Amino acid sequence: MSGLDFQSFDPRALLAQIEWLSPWVLLALPLPLLFHRLPAYRQRRPALRIAFFDLAVQGSGRSAGPGAVVVPAGIAQMGVLTLAWCLLLLALARPVLVEPPLTRIQPARDLLLAVDISPSMRARDYVDRQGQPASRMAAVREVLDEFIARRSGDRIGLLFFGQEPYVQAPFTLEHDTVRELLAQAEPGMAGGRTMIGDALGLCAAVGYAGYLLILRMLGKQVNVGAVMFWATFGAGLVALTLALLFHEPMLPQTLNGWLILVSLALVVQVGGQGLIAYGVGRLPIVASTVLLWMQPLVAAALSWMLFSEALGPMALMGAALVLAGIYVVQRSRA
């Protein structure tokens, strides 16, 4: 109900929205009736003595005795007192008006834009709408401006990569800020070489982090089977789209290929991701963090033992940081 909108006023709906924080106070409502049954208040006052008092009593035909005068309350006075008592009890009961819940529509998608800003983006091998030569960076800005303008309900993140990848803007609804950051980007700001592998790895890490956050938020509210089904279904659609775009074979051609595919599906997807989806939503946050941090260490150790892949200085430094983080978390729990 807003302002003075009396036409849509519904007393029953208003009473249904009222909660009483101290309803037991209303039990004192009949208390004045009990006070009414008590004897009247007596107060001694000085009296006027007259010389012919006995003659006056004899003439009246009554005998002298102690007496009192009780002033009766009028109807108006009783009404005001009753109303005041009721209003006092209602105030002490602390009524609270609970309005209907507000529905907040959250964005349905998180989109991460990975933009190459290496020096190669200065090449003027594109043509703009006026038919004039344009650089690759200008073409990217034009396409992404139109794309961002059409995604009014989605959160958009921005990642620049060249020699190193950089998250320029996290997922946000402030599309104007994302477009401004994109307009300010210049080729060469992220180094003189293009490292697409690192950029794709960072995009995958951001996406995987979002996936884990979604699992954590869902918790016990959604069945693990439903989470795995929709995650696998979405990944399958993406893989099918990429296979059609790059004309990759859709199915394995040999028995060995089928065995590898089935093993990956059962061990990695059903077993590994199923346990992650089950554990992240149910285990304590500290235990989940420690277990997830162990993933890159186990993967690096297995690649070294199975495929003889040597670990470089950066990989060893990252492993040391992960182990240090696990040690700090374990000490905080102790």
Domain CATH code at residue 203: 3.40.50.410
Does 56 fall in a domain? no
Q: Domain ends where: 86, 104, 122?
A: 104
What the block records as the tokens of 149 is 């303008």
Global pTM reads: 0.36
pLDDT at 193: 61
Q: In terms of domains, do 181 and 194 share one?
A: yes
Q: Domain ends where: 163, 195, 218?
A: 218
| Residue that the structure tokens 């709906």 belong to | 13
Q: How far apart are CA 252 and CA 40, in angstroms?
A: 103
Q: Is the dihedral of CA 216, 219, 225, 227 positive or negative?
A: negative
Does 225 fall in a domain? no
pLDDT at 106: 65
Residues 79, 16: contact at Cβ < 8 Å?
no
| 94 dihedral zone (left: phi>0; alpha: psi -120 to 50; beta) | left
pLDDT at 17: 79
Q: In terms of domains, do 139 and 111 share one?
A: yes
Q: In terms of domains, do 91 and 137 share one?
A: no
> What are 255-309's pLDDT values in tens digits?
888 888 888 888 877 777 777 777 766 667 666 666 766 777 777 777 777 766 6
- Domain count across the chain: 2
Does 207 fall in a domain? yes
What the block records as the tokens of 291 is 């277990």
Nearest to 82 by CA among 131, 46, 33: 33
Q: In terms of domains, do 127 and 100 share one?
A: no
> What are 184-193's pLDDT values in tens digits?
888 877 776 6
Nearest to 211 by CA among 189, 187, 235: 235
pLDDT at 308: 66
Q: In terms of domains, do 119 and 76 share one?
A: no
Q: In terms of domains, do 165 and 211 share one?
A: yes
pLDDT at 7: 59
Q: Domain ends where: 218, 250, 282?
A: 218
Does 195 fall in a domain? yes
Instruction: pLDDT tens for the chain, 334 residues: list them.
Output: 444 455 566 777 777 778 888 888 888 888 887 777 777 666 676 666 666 767 766 766 666 666 655 666 678 878 888 888 888 988 888 888 887 777 776 656 888 898 888 877 887 878 777 878 888 888 888 889 999 988 887 889 999 887 777 888 888 888 999 999 998 888 877 776 656 666 666 777 777 777 767 766 765 676 766 777 777 787 778 878 877 877 777 777 788 888 888 888 888 777 777 777 777 666 676 666 667 667 777 777 777 777 666 666 776 777 777 677 767 766 666 5
**176: domain range?**
105-218
Does 191 fall in a domain? yes
Q: In terms of domains, do 100 and 205 share one?
A: no
